[in-house]
C-alpha cells in the first residue's frame, strides 16, 4: 500500500528544501555579489518558481496520470528509465553536498575534537533509520521540527531588534545594481530549484488535487524565511562580515543576547535546525532508494544502508576540506545543478504528456 502525506506536510517539505541547506553558507556568496541589495533576490525568484510550478503541473491536475507514473513494478519505458537515472544522479550529488556541509558545520561549531569520519558514520546511521520508515515518517518529522524552526525565524527580528543597523542597506538600489542582482540570482537558482525533488512524491499526496497549491505555498514559505535571514544578515552583520564568514547565519544567531546569562541561544536554534536538515537528507536517501527500486522493479530497503554508507564515504573522499566543498557548492553546483534541474523538468513534462490518462482530469 502506498504511503500518503497531507498537503500541509508537502508544503513544509518543499519549504524545507528551499530553506534548510541554503542558510548554512549560501548567504556568503550571495552577499559577496549582490552586496546590500541581496535581500531582494527571494522576491525576484518567487515569480520564476511560480511559473515553473504551473509548467510542471500543467493547466489541469491529472489525478490518475500522477498516480500511475513511476510506480514500482510497472512496465517502464526507456524514457522513464532515463528520467529515473538522472533523478538518481541529481539526488546523489545533492546528498553528497548537503551531508558534507552539515558534517563540516558540526565539526567546526559543535564537535571540533570529533573526527569527521565518525560524524559521517553516525549521521548515515540516523538517515538510513529514518529513510527506512518511509515518506510518511520523514514528512512527520519534518513537519514537527520545521514548524518549530519557522516560529524561531519569525521571532528573530524581535530578538535582534537592538542589533539592527539600517545604514547597512545603503546605498539604495539603482540601475547599476541590476547586473549584480542577476548574477547573485543565478548562483541562488540551483539551490532553490532543488524543490523539483517533490515530483517523486506528488502521487503520495492526499488529496492530490491540491498538491499544486501546497507546492506554491511551500515555495512562498521557504523564500519568505530565507528573506528574513538575508535581511537580518545584512542589517546586523553588514555586507563585509557576511561575505567573508563561512557560516554567517550562525554568527547572526550568536548575536542574540536576551540577558546576561542567556547568551547561548545559538545552541537551541541549532538543536532545532539539525533535525530539519536530517529530514531533508533522509528524503534524498529515500528518493535514491525509491528510484533504485523502480529500476529493480521491487519495493525494497536492502539498498538503503550500502547506498547511504557509500555516499557518506564519498562525501569525505571527494572533498579534501571545507574550502573545497564550498567551492563545489558555490561554483560547480551552480551550473551542474541548474543543468540537471532543467533536464528533470523537461523529461517530466514530456513523460506526463505522453502518459495515458484513463480517468477524467480533476481541476484544482
HEC string of the chain equals: CCCCECHHHHHHHHHHHHHCCHHHHHHHHHHHHHHHHHHHHHHHHHHHHHHHHHHHHCCCECHHHHHHCCCCCCCCCHHHHHHHHHHHHHHHHHHHHHHHHHHHHHHHHHCCCCCHHHHHHHHHHHHHHHHHCCHHHHHHHHHHHHHHHHHHHHHHHHHCHHHCCHHHHCCCCCCCHHHHHHHHHHHHHHHHHHHHHHHHHHHHECCHHHHHHHHHHHHHHHHHHHHHHHHHHHHHHCHHHHHHCCCHHHHHHHCCCCCCCCCCHHHHHHHHHHHHHHHHHHHHHHHHHHHHHHHHCCCCCCCHHHHHHHHHHHHHHCCCCHHHHHHHHHHHHHHHHHHHHHHHHHHHHHHHHHCCCCCCCECC
Share of the chain above pLDDT 70, in %: 88
Stretch 50-68: mean pLDDT? 66
* Tens-place pLDDT, residues 255-293: 877 665 556 677 788 888 889 999 999 999 998 988 888
Given a cut of 90, is residue 224 above it in pLDDT? Answer: yes
Q: What is the pLDDT of residue 114?
A: 87
Domains, the chain, in order of start with CATH, read: 7-354 (1.20.1740.10)
* CA 213 to chain CA centroid, nearest Å: 18
pLDDT (0 to 100) of residue 355: 64
Q: Would the pLDDT of 41 be above 80?
A: yes
Q: Decide if pLDDT at 228 tops 90.
A: yes
Tens of pLDDT, residue by residue over 159-201, are 888 888 888 787 777 777 788 888 888 888 888 888 888 877 7
Task: Place 226 in a pLDDT band, splitting at 50, 70 and 90.
Answer: very high
* pLDDT value at residue 5: 82
* pLDDT for the residue 176: 73
Q: What is the pLDDT of residue 255?
A: 82
Q: Measured in whole angstroms, how far is the alpha carbon of residue 186 from the centre of its chain?
A: 16
Bigger pLDDT: 150 vs 73: 150
* Mean pLDDT across 8-31: 87
Taken as a whole, the chain contains a residue count of 364
pLDDT of residue 124: 92
Asked if the model's pLDDT at residue 83 lies above 90, the reply is no
| Mean pLDDT score across all residues of the chain | 83
Which band of pLDDT confidence, cut at 50, 70 and 90, is reported for residue 71?
low
Chain-centroid distance of CA 279 in Å reads 10
Report the pLDDT averaged over residues 325-329: 87
pLDDT exceeds 80 at position 205: no
Please give the average per-residue pLDDT across 47-51, as a whole number: 88
Residue 127's region, left for phi above 0, alpha for psi from -120 to 50, else beta, is alpha
Amino acid at each position: 500500500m502506498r504511503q500518503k502525506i497531507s498537503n500541509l506536510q508537502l508544503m513544509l517539505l518543499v519549504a524545507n528544501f528551499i530553506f534548510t541547506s541554503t542558510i548554512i553558507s549560501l548567504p556568503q556568496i550571495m552577499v559577496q555579489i549582490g552586496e546590500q541589495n541581496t535581500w531582494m533576490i527571494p522576491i525576484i525568484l518567487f515569480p520564476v518558481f511560480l511559473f515553473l510550478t504551473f509548467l510542471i503541473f500543467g493547466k489541469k491536475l491529472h489525478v490518475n496520470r500522477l498516480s500511475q507514473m513511476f510506480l514500482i513494478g510497472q512496465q517502464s519505458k526507456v524514457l522513464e528509465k532515463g528520467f529515473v537515472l538522472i533523478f538518481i544522479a541529481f539526488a546523489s550529488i545533492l546528498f553528497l553536498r548537503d551531508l558534507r556541509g552539515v558534517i563540516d558545520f558540526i565539526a567546526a561549531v559543535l564537535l571540533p575534537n570529533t573526527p569527521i569520519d565518525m560524524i559521517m558514520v553516525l549521521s548515515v546511521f540516523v538517515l538510513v533509520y529514518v529513510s527506512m520508515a518511509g515518506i510518511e515518517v520523514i514528512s512527520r518529522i519534518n513537519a514537527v521540527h520545521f514548524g518549530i524552526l519557522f516560529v524561531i525565524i519569525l521571532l528573530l527580528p524581535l530578538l535582534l531588534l537592538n542589533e539592527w543597523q539600517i545604514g547597512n542597506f545603503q546605498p539604495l538600489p539603482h540601475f547599476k545594481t541590476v547586473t549584480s542582482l542577476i548574477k547573485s540570482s543565478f548562483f541562488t537558482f540551483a539551490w532553490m530549484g532543488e524543490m523539483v525533488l517533490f515530483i517523486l512524491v506528488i502521487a503520495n499526496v492526499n488529496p492530490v488535487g491540491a498538491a499544486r497549491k501546497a507546492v506554491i505555498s511551500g515555495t512562498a514559505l521557504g523564500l519568505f524565511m530565507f528573506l528574513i535571514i538575508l535581511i537580518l544578515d545584512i542589517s546586523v552583520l553588514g555586507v563585509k562580515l557576511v561575505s567573508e564568514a563561512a557560516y554567517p547565519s550562525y554568527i547572526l544567531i550568536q548575536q542574540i543576547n536576551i540577558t546576561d546569562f542567556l547568551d547561548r541561544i545559538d545552541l537551541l536554534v541549532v538543536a532545532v535546525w539539525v533535525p530539519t536538515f536530517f529530514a531533508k537528507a533522509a528524503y534524498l536517501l529515500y528518493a535514491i532508494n525509491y528510484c533504485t527500486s523502480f529500476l529493480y522493479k521491487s519495493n525494497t530497503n536492502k539498498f538503503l544502508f550500502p547506498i547511504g554508507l557509500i555516499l557518506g564515504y564519498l562525501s569525505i573522499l571527494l572533498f579534501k576540506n571545507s574550502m573545497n566543498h564550498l567551492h563545489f557548492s558555490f561554483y560547480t553546483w551552480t551550473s551542474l545543478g541548474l543543468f540537471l534541474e532543467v533536464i528533470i523538468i523537461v523529461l517530466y513534462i514530456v513523460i506526463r504528456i505522453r502518459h495515458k490518462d484513463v480517468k477524467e482530469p480533476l481541476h484544482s
